[in-house]
Amino acid sequence: MPVPTFALARSTLRPWRLSDLASLLRHADDPEVSRATSDRFPSPYTRAAGEAWLAHATGAGAETDWAVTIDGAAVGGIGVVPGERERRVKVEIGYWLGRAFWGQGVITEAVTHLTDHLLVRPGLLRVEALVYSSNPASARVLEKAGYRLESVQKQAAIKRGEVLDVLVYVRLAA
């Protein structure tokens, strides 16, 4: 079943389309975006990487990823990784946005809405987000979206040669 579309005030979250390739490459191929993401996010973000992502995100069973669109163009992404087996009570949320749109509340609105949507699902008890200590903007997004800092994993990641703490943010079902 494809993901639902959410028309929000600042963006529309909708399923990815193969036709998003040019816009995806324009906004994702940016070292300032990938410096704060998991290394799953390619850098440089090549055409082949974009095609592979869109094949995955539009394929059968693609139920956990949304394009963040503004004026119809895919300028970011937000998605969840479901927990498996006994960890099925939780999901991890992740997101990125093209630099041209930073600082306008786009991702705060998207994370807030998507988390609210997820937490009404029966059996889903926990949404978590992992943030590098070098990324105060993302920590701020999560605080504004009602998450709380649960723990700090010391020296838990290395990005571009810098050892980083990982902040674990969480919103629990009521």
Ligand X SMILES: CC(C)(COP(=O)(O)OP(=O)(O)OC[C@H]1O[C@@H](n2cnc3c(N)ncnc32)[C@H](O)[C@@H]1OP(=O)(O)O)[C@@H](O)C(=O)NCCC(=O)NCCS
**Strand (E) or helix (H) holding 147:** none
As measured in angstroms, the least distance from the Cβ of 123 to ligand X is: 25
Question: By C-beta, is 36 or 118 nearer to ligand X?
Answer: 36
Question: By C-beta, is 54 or 142 nearer to ligand X?
Answer: 142
As measured in angstroms, the least distance from the Cβ of 86 to ligand X is: 25
As measured in angstroms, the least distance from the Cβ of 41 to ligand X is: 8
Which residues contact ligand X (rule: CB under 6 A)?
A: 33, 36-37, 95-97, 102-108, 131, 135-138, 140-141
- Which residues lie across from 95 on neighbouring strands? 78
Question: By C-beta, is 74 or 131 nearer to ligand X?
Answer: 131
What is the DSSP annotation of 115-130? HHHHHTSTT--EEEEE
As measured in angstroms, the least distance from the Cβ of 31 to ligand X is: 10
Q: Which residues lie below 8 Å from residue 164, measured CB to CB, with a gap of 6+? A: 132, 133, 134, 155, 156, 157, 158
Question: By C-beta, is 32 or 86 nearer to ligand X?
Answer: 32
Neighbours of 17 (CB within 10 A): 15
* Helix and strand element counts for the chain (H, E): 5, 8
As measured in angstroms, the least distance from the Cβ of 140 to ligand X is: 4
Q: Which residue matches tokens 């959410």? A: 6
Question: By C-beta, is 91 or 106 nearer to ligand X?
Answer: 106
